[in-house]
Every structure is written in C-alpha cells, then in structure tokens.
Amino acid sequence: MSSGDAHRRSLLGLGAGVLATLPIAAAADTRPPTGRQTVSATAFGAKGDGAADDSAALQAAFDAAFAADGPGFVTLPPGTYKISRTLRIAPHGNLTRHHGILAHGARLRSAITDGSDVVAFDCRSTDRFLLIEGLDILGNGREGAGLALQCESKEHYLYNFCLRDLVIQGCGGDGARLLGDVFEGQIANSYFRDNRRNGVTFGHGKQAGILSALHVFGCVFGQNGRFGVEMVNGCYDVAYHGCYFLLNGRNGLAAANGCTLLSNCGFENNHEAAADFAGGGPGIWLQGFGTLIGCTGYSMFKQTRLIEAYVVDQFTMIGCSGSGDGNAKGAGLALIGGERKGRAAIISPSGAVEYKKGFEALEIGGKDGGVRFGSDWQSPNLARLGDHHLWVDRTGRLRLKKGSPRSDEDGAPVGS
C-alpha cells in the first residue's frame, strides 16, 4: 500500500464506523417472498453462452413476467447473454405487487451499436415494488445507457423500487439513467464504472415528472467519462450514504440545483480529463443548497478540493476534510461563493476553505479554532448579541447596531 493510499484510508476510517450504523437494514426488503412464482429466461430459449443472440428470448421472458396476469419475476440463470437490441419493460396497466429481475451471476453483454439503451423500463402506468437485483451489464461503448428507468408523466409513477448489487460498466452513454416521476427508491451496493458519459444521471422529466426521495447506499462511481453522478433538470432530492466517487473525467458529483444530503462519502482523484492540477477542479460541484456530513476529498493528481459551491439557500458541512499529496499537495476542502441571501455553516473542517467575491460562512472549530463570523455588514452570518449585530466596517472599526444594519456606517463604533 502506498503512503497516499494509507493516508486516504486513514481519512475514511472514521467514516466507515459511522457508515456501519446507517439504516441500510431499514430499507424496505423487496425480496420476493419464498415461493413467489417466477419465469426463467431459459424457458424462453435464452442460452447464456455468450455467443447466441439472446435478445428475443429475454424480451419474451420479460413480456411474460410483466404481463397483467404474469408471475412478476423473471430469473436470469448465471451466464453471459448477448444482447443486440434494447430489452424493453413497458407494463400496460398498474403493477403494485412485487416484480422484477433476479440475475445474480448473469451478465448482459451488449452488441448494440446504434446508441440505444440496453435495458429500458418505460413506465406508462403506476408501478410499485420493482426490484432489479444482481444484474451485470457490460457495454461495448456504442450503446446508450446500460439501464434506463423513465416515467415522464403527470399521471403515472414509478416508486417504492430497489436496485441492488448491480454492475454496469463500459456503456457508451450513462451507466444508469433515472428520469421523471421516479421516487421513494433505493440503489444499494452497486458499481457504475468506465461508462463514456456519466456513471448515473438523475433528473426530473424534461416535459413532466418529479424525481425525489431517492437514497443511494454504498455505491461506487468510477472512471466515467464525464461525471460520476450528474443531477439534471432541476432535481435535487437524492441522498448518498457511504458512496465513493473516483477517477471520473470531471466532477465526482455535479448537482446544478443542490443536493439533499451526502454522508460519509469519499471523492478521490476526479478530473482525470484535465491536463494538470491547475486545470482540474473539485470532487463536487454544487449550486443552490446542500448538506455534507463526514465527507472526504483526497487527491494526488488533478482534483483540487472536495467541493466548490455557489450558495443561494442553506449550505452546511460538518466534519468534512479535503487534502492532497504529490502533484496535488495544494488540494483543500472548499471554495464557496454565493448570493447575499445564501447561508453557509462549516463545522469542524479539515483543509483549506476559500471564499469567492466576499461571500462568508459561519465557521466553527476551523484550523484556528473558535468561531468565525461574517464581518461585512451585509453578511447573513454576523455575530449577534440578543437583538444587536456586530460587524467590521471598511475602516476596520467594530460596530454595534440594535436590529439589522442598513449600511456599513450604521450603528455605533465599539471601543477606540
């Protein structure tokens, strides 16, 4: 183990203990009850030998399993299934019972070359309790997404779903793409790597549908061409717990409208597409609001800090760290700017914190200890004593005003 690896693992060690207490077990157990009827893909002629084209057989198995009177589950026995066209799941009529794909040991090897997705779930009804478990999708770089879940509708919903133990890599588009009325779902213990676009894209529908209340547990997003995860079309309500984002071409996470929560997540050596450290960037790019708890950023190459944020609402970091070695020895924790109305609090940070254009955060327990308040009279983080506000005017004098100051010279100077 290199000294860099040892340092990174020591940073993450504290988070691992906390991660063990996360309520993963509290996630809804969507395994089919013992005895649940399933159909096997082999019953429809799927070979799983890596040579035969299994597209038609698997499509027939999916159609049978997800028919209105179908058993609900399709099982893919261990093997390699060659796929030359998109496998579509499009239930007609509401599905509100357990249903899904059980595929431990099964790999879908894409032979698709026209940019279409490998597996596409197109929700045209109300769909609940979908489980996709153990599926391995290997792309060839010329298809679209490995797995696409989409519900662009004002009337239909895909929710209470679970994706777990997935491996999706080598796809020409995203590893996975979730768009529209997709909510109250979980993604656990899954691996999205070496996809040409993003590891995963989350988003509201372009025309309709709100993505929300998604939780991502213990997943890895690595070596993807653009972002590890990108949150698009105004979505923000996704929480990441104990996930790792590394070696992506650009940011590990790009959240253009904010992100509900990141807890105990690590960001390592992202911005692989940059020429050098000077041209690199943060592990997380965030605009809007967010909460980070126990997250770490570590770099030896081109990642410059854990996060760069433009704050327009509330932004909080608790117990986060950012550091670097080698070519990235100047890597820090955060670069934060924002609007005057934006409020930021940074508690017990480790690593350099910088600000853009006069933006100031409330810092507690930083490298110099104590509490650092905003100093500009317009800062939302001024020190307050009861109804009185304290600030430092442009001449360096401390001023006190009952109520909110209306100018830099408002209130009374304190002391000589």
Q: Is 236 contained in some domain?
A: no
Beta carbons within 10 angstroms of residue 66's beta carbon = 25
Number of domains in the chain: 3
Tell me: do 139 and 59 sit in the same domain.
yes
Residue 104 CA to residue 166 CA, distance in Å, equals 9
Instruction: Compute the 3-state secondary structure of the chain and give helix, strand, coil in percent, each to the nearest 5.
Output: 10, 45, 45
Tell me: do 327 and 277 sit in the same domain.
yes
Kindly list the distances between the CA atom of residue 73 and the CA atoms of 39, 99, 166, 317, 371, in Å, as whole numbers in the listed order.
6, 5, 17, 42, 56
Tell me: do 62 and 197 sit in the same domain.
yes
Residue 202 CA to residue 328 CA, distance in Å, equals 30
The pLDDT value recorded for residue 184 is: 97
Tell me: do 183 and 285 sit in the same domain.
no
Q: Is 233 contained in some domain?
A: no
The pLDDT value recorded for residue 357 is: 87
The three-state secondary structure class of 294 is coil
Tell me: do 207 and 340 sit in the same domain.
no
- Helix H or strand E encompassing 213: strand 212-217
Tell me: do 187 and 120 sit in the same domain.
yes
- Domain boundary, last residue among 164, 198, 215: 215
Residue 5 CA to residue 184 CA, distance in Å, equals 36
Q: Which domain holds residue 413?
A: 373-416
Tell me: do 48 and 181 sit in the same domain.
yes
The pLDDT value recorded for residue 360 is: 87
Q: Is 206 contained in some domain?
A: yes
The three-state secondary structure class of 22 is coil
Q: Is 404 contained in some domain?
A: yes
Tell me: do 364 and 401 sit in the same domain.
no
Q: Is 235 contained in some domain?
A: no
Q: Strands 332-338 and 353-355: what pairing?
A: parallel
Residue 58 CA to residue 64 CA, distance in Å, equals 10
Intervals of the chain under pLDDT 70: 1-36, 416
Residue 220 CA to residue 176 CA, distance in Å, equals 13
Tell me: do 393 and 354 sit in the same domain.
no
Judge contact between 54 and 41, C-beta under 8 A.
yes
Tell me: do 201 and 296 sit in the same domain.
no
The three-state secondary structure class of 394 is coil
Judge contact between 111 and 142, C-beta under 8 A.
no
Question: Token pair of 370, please?
Answer: 């104590």
Q: Per DSSP, which regions of 294-387 are E strands?
A: 296-299, 303-318, 321-324, 332-338, 343-347, 353-355, 362-364, 371-372, 383-385
Q: Which residues of 294-314 are buried (b: 16+ CB within 10 A; e: fewer)?
A: bbbbbbbbbbbbbbbbbbbee
Tell me: do 201 and 274 sit in the same domain.
no
pTM of the prediction? 0.87
Q: Is 223 contained in some domain?
A: no
Residue 7 CA to residue 266 CA, distance in Å, equals 13
Kindly list the distances between the CA atom of residue 317 and the CA atoms of 93, 262, 346, in Å, as whole numbers in the listed order.
45, 10, 5
The pLDDT value recorded for residue 170 is: 98
Tell me: do 51 and 199 sit in the same domain.
yes
Q: Is 332 contained in some domain?
A: yes
**Count of positions (residues) in the chain:** 416
Question: Token pair of 395, please?
Answer: 């001449």
Residue 29 CA to residue 186 CA, distance in Å, equals 11
Residue 276 CA to residue 299 CA, distance in Å, equals 12
